[in-house]
């Protein structure tokens, strides 16, 4: 005899975090303006803070690093999920080899254009699925989706995936980012529905 509550799940449902719905569109969501670069020479990526070798990468230099392809589902805190996104870019582990993170680093702060930031624990940055992506489904990112480079942190709500990335900072202390200071959860695990700071 079985008295438990039975929840029917298909294999597709088990990919969808609670209270998310799947969309095949690619919604655009951000605070502030979409940056425009007349020339990619106007863009670079600074990696600094608690690292042995702080570095400024040009777009060309990043493109010459070994490239990684990952396919991930993305989950926006506003309720939409988009399945099977193929991202191409430089894995966080590849970057790590070049800058050498110091022992006391615990957090990573993404700095985007216009001073927008997002924070995450170092171990989440160092997941194999965390990427500095330049392409989505084989096409370069469009300006609205983060051209030239965005972070992709697939296992957390999509607001951690900073578009228009300009700096990556390694710190000992946490520094809540833009949405984290404005009521969103500091960590943002979609499977635990960590949407707002009190969740
Ligand atoms: N620089 C920057 N990156 C950002 C944001 C932002 O406001 N500024 N918003 C985040 C949020 S809330 C989401 S859901 C995703 C949306 O990415 P998309 O517009 O490519 O779908 O970008 C994230 N990255
Ligand atoms: Mo979002």
Residue 8 pLDDT more than 60? no
Structure confidence at residue 102 as a pLDDT band (50, 70, 90)? very high
Stated pTM of the model: 0.94
Tell whether 106 is covered by a domain: yes
Determine which residue's CA is closest to atom 22 belonging to ligand 1.
Answer: 159
Q: Percent of the chain beyond pLDDT 70?
A: 93
Q: Which structural domain, as residue segments, surrounds residue 170?
A: 43-186
Tell whether 33 is covered by a domain: no
Provide the pLDDT for residue 4. 47
> In this predicted model, what pLDDT tens digit does every residue of 39-90 receive, in sequence order?
999 999 999 999 999 999 999 999 999 999 999 999 999 999 999 999 999 9
Provide the pLDDT for residue 70. 97
Tell whether 193 is covered by a domain: no
Provide the pLDDT for residue 5. 46
Determine which residue's CA is closest to atom 10 belonging to ligand 1.
Answer: 159
Give CA separation, 191 vs 19, 129, 141, 156, in Å.
10, 16, 27, 9
Ligand 1 centroid to Cα of residue 98, in Å, is 27
> In this predicted model, what pLDDT tens digit does every residue of 117-127 receive, in sequence order?
999 999 999 99
Ligand 2 centroid to Cα of residue 77, in Å, is 5
Question: Which residues place a Cβ less than 5 A from the ion ligand 2?
Answer: 29, 76-77, 159
Tell me how many degrees the CA angle 184-106-102 measures, rounded to the nearest 5.
Answer: 150
Tell whether 52 is covered by a domain: yes
Tell me how far apart the alpha carbons of residues 143 and 37 are, in angstroms, rounded to a whole number: 9
DSSP helix/strand/coil, 158: helix
Provide the pLDDT for residue 12. 56
CATH of the domain at 94: 3.90.420.10
Tell whether 151 is covered by a domain: yes
Tell whether 191 is covered by a domain: no
- What residues line ligand 1, using a CB cutoff of 6 Å? 26-31, 76, 112, 116, 145-146, 158-159, 161-164
Residue among 111, 122, 182 nearest 149 (CA): 111
Provide the pLDDT for residue 7. 47
Phi, psi of 191 (to 5 degrees): -75, -25
Tell whether 53 is covered by a domain: yes
Sign of CA dihedral 85, 86, 90, 92: positive
Determine which residue's CA is closest to atom 9 belonging to ligand 1.
Answer: 30
Tell whether 88 is covered by a domain: yes
Q: Is pLDDT larger for residue 4 or for residue 20?
A: 20
Looking at the structure of the chain, the number of domains it has is: 1
Determine which residue's CA is closest to atom 20 belonging to ligand 1.
Answer: 145
> In this predicted model, what pLDDT tens digit does every residue of 110-168 receive, in sequence order?
999 999 999 999 999 999 999 999 999 999 999 999 999 999 999 999 999 999 999 99
Mean pLDDT score across all residues of the chain: 94
């Amino acid at each position: 005899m079985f008295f438990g509550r039975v929840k029917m799940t298909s294999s597709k449902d088990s990919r969808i975090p609670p209270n998310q719905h799947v969309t095949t569109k690619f919604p655009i969501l951000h605070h502030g303006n979409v940056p425009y670069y007349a020339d990619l020479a106007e863009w670079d990526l600074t990696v600094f803070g608690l690292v042995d070798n702080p570095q400024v990468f040009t777009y060309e230099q990043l493109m010459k690093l070994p490239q990684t392809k990952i396919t991930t589902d993305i989950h926006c805190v506003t309720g939409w999920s988009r399945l099977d996104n193929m991202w191409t870019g430089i894995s966080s582990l590849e970057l790590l080899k070049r800058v050498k993170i110091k022992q006391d680093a615990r957090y990573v702060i993404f700095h985007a254009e216009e001073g927008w930031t997002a924070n995450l624990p170092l171990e989440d940055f160092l997941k194999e699925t965390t990427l500095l992506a330049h392409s989505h489904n084989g096409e370069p990112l469009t300006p609205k989706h983060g051209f030239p480079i965005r972070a992709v942190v697939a296992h957390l709500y999509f607001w951690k995936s900073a578009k228009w990335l300009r700096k990556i900072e390694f710190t000992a202390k946490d520094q809540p980012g833009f949405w984290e200071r404005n009521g969103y959860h500091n960590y943002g695990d979609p499977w635990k529905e960590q949407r707002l700071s009190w969740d």
